[in-house]
Amino acid sequence: MSPVAPADGDIFEVFVQAGVSNALTHVGSLVTGCPDEAWYLAKETYCRRDDIARLWVVRRGDMIVSGPEDLPALTARTRMPFRQAGYPVARRRDRTGEPVAAPVEVGRPTSGPPSLTALWFALADDLFLLGHRLSRHVVDYIDIEDSLATGSISQEATAHARRIVEQCGLTEAGADAHFFDRPAHCWCPSGVSLCDLDSWPATVVSGLVVAAAVVALAEETLAVDPDPELVPELTAIRTEQAMHLEHWRHWVAALAADEATTAEFTTDCRDIVACAGDLLGGPAMSLPGSRLPTDAADLASVHTRFAALLKESVTGELTDRPTPRAADPTNSPLPAVLRRAKVVRDRYRPGTFL
Amino acid sequence: MTLNDAVGGVLDPEIDVTLAALGVVRSVLTERDRVVVTLAPTRIGCPALGEIGRRVRAAVHRVAPGVAVQVEWLRGTWRPEDVSGAGIRALTSAGYRVAGGDTSCPYCLSDDVTRAGRFGGGVCRTPFSCRSCGSSFDLLGTATCGLRDDIT
């Protein structure tokens, strides 16, 4: 008798769960012309050795199965490859051979009033530190909307920080070195960036004052006729930060209204607003490669814009004019914060940028 | 295949839509010994710039092996209006709407939709949900689109 290909109706697929702790698994198929016998035949064929928790038999013709033509639809190409395990190591650019930038050589402190460039350069530090600080809260999954907002703001704050220092004349690699390889004693962050890093209300107020400072500085810069090529990017930064400001305003209203948080929040608010005057008080600095305006900034005008934005948003006494930043942050939480920011990079082979 | 077609045909890393249809490609120019590709990212903080740049370089190299490729980013210039008709169709079939256009549910076409927050799963997206069929979908756009004002 010559072999005969079985009809689809005669083929049964067999699924077995051996023991309660194992998964139900496809173990094979069998052919029988008698459907009533299929289950018993499967038991005799596949279930003679183990204790079986479940035995399922399904006629192949009744199953909805994928074929080779469905493979494109099943390929994971639209599912955010950069969020998949292994992506960072496999795909990120390896810059091992590229020259290492000298991060502290870029700007030179000068005397006299700071330029808009110098104010941007200093504010980039606070944006970077805010982005890093917020990243700790991305996994607070109490409210998915807030988790998404915190993640987006964190991501944009860091991206803005990088673009600002690049516009101030740093290369891509230089910007990376500026944030990740600069020793703590060379930093000059605002007091806001180091205020009570563990408290959520303090983080909210810090986020708000940093966003307000960026909006104020962007509006001031756009008002003094910058390089036309910078306008779209500066406008985008201003608008994105205005959206962050709006988000923090909602949080401020919620924390101030809630009896449980209002006392702690009012104290945090007062303390942080009191030291926010130095956000736009970056040191005078010469950055010859900058595309941002390098003339002396109209500090009173910037400060007025900033104060107006804060007045609409929070209570607390802002100083009358920009205050200088504390010179040496070595004895602050900064060294620990910078070490934490670097931790994730230590897991990749040297030279792999994040 | 021309360089323009090769670069324009590169797929976005997240959604099955080409960079040309998404309105991201600004110019592809051959300058002496190199190709300069100018692109407009949807957002400054887009995390996919590295991957898009890699795909663009690979696409150029398929047409012109070994040529030097320089990818320039024009940040802040992309607008939702830059998405082509084909782009809107591709995005709709992937469950996205584009700011400034039709904001009905891409699944059931109902207009009974509500914004589910200011920030979505990516910085270029605002989450919406449809009250008619219960689907979630994203509106592609930037903060510069005035989203906060025209949709509440």
Residue B139: its H or E element = strand B136-140
- What b/e string do you get for B117-143 counting C-beta neighbours within 10 Å, with b at 16 or more? bbbbbbbbbbbbebeeeebebbbbbbb
Q: Which of B16, B50, B119 sits opposite A148 (nearest CB)?
A: B119
Would you call B117 and A242 a contact, using CB atoms and an 8 Å cutoff?
no
Dist CA A128 CA A161 (whole Å): 6
pLDDT at residue number A99: 57
pLDDT at residue number A90: 56
- Give per-residue pLDDT as tens, A31-68: 998 888 999 999 999 998 889 999 999 999 899 988 88
Which residue stretches of chain B are H helix? 3-8, 49-63, 85-93, 147-150
Q: For the domain with range A10-62, which CATH number is right: 3.30.1370, 3.10.20, 3.80.10, 1.10.10?
A: 3.10.20
Q: Is 60 exceeded by the pLDDT of residue A352? A: no
The number of distinct structural domains making up chain B is: 2
Would you call B94 and A78 a contact, using CB atoms and an 8 Å cutoff?
yes
pLDDT at residue number A72: 74
Q: Could you give the percent of chain A with pLDDT greater than 90?
A: 52
- What b/e string do you get for A109-119 counting C-beta neighbours within 10 Å, with b at 16 or more? eeeeebbbbbb
Residues of A whose CB is below 8 A from B47: 82, 155
- Give per-residue pLDDT as tens, A154-179: 999 999 999 999 999 998 888 988 99
Amino acid at B4: N
Residues of A whose CB is below 8 A from B43: 156, 236, 240
Dist CA A232 CA A254 (whole Å): 34
- Of the two residues A95 and B92, the one the predictor is more confident about is B92
Torsion angles phi and psi, residue A27, rounded to 5: -110, -15
pLDDT at residue number A131: 94
Name the token pair of B124.
């270029």
- Give per-residue pLDDT as tens, A100-118: 555 545 677 788 889 999 9
Which residue range forms the structural domain that includes residue B60?
3-73
Q: Is 60 exceeded by the pLDDT of residue A206? A: yes
Co-location of B8 and B64 in the same domain: yes
pLDDT at residue number A347: 65
- Give per-residue pLDDT as tens, A305-340: 999 999 988 888 888 889 988 877 777 889 988 988
Q: Does A147 touch chain B (CB under 8 A)?
A: no
- Residues of chain A numbered 224-253 and touching chain B (CB < 8 Å): 231-237, 239-240, 242-243, 246-247
The domain segmentation of chain A, as residue ranges, is 10-62, 106-338
A-to-B residue pairs, Cβ atoms closer than 8 angstroms:
92
The ipTM (two decimal places) reads: 0.85
Q: Is 60 exceeded by the pLDDT of residue A78? A: no
Confidence (pTM): 0.78
Looking up residue B61, the CATH number of its domain turns out to be 3.30.300.130
Would you call A155 and B94 a contact, using CB atoms and an 8 Å cutoff?
no
pLDDT at residue number A97: 60
Query: How far away is chain B from the Cα of A352, in angstroms, using its nearest Cα?
Result: 13
Would you call B44 and A81 a contact, using CB atoms and an 8 Å cutoff?
no
pLDDT at residue number A7: 74
Averaged pLDDT in 10-residue chunks for chain B of 152 residues:
94 92 96 94 90 94 94 94 95 92 92 89 89 91 55 34
Query: How far away is chain B from the Cα of A175, in angstroms, using its nearest Cα?
Result: 15
Under CATH, which architecture does the A106-338 domain have?
Answer: Up-down Bundle (1.20)
Which burial class, exposed, middle or buried, applies to A234 when counting CB atoms under 10 A from its CB (0-12, 13-18, 19+)? Answer: buried
Task: Report the C-alpha dihedral over residues B13, B18, B20, B21, rounded to 10 degrees.
Answer: -120
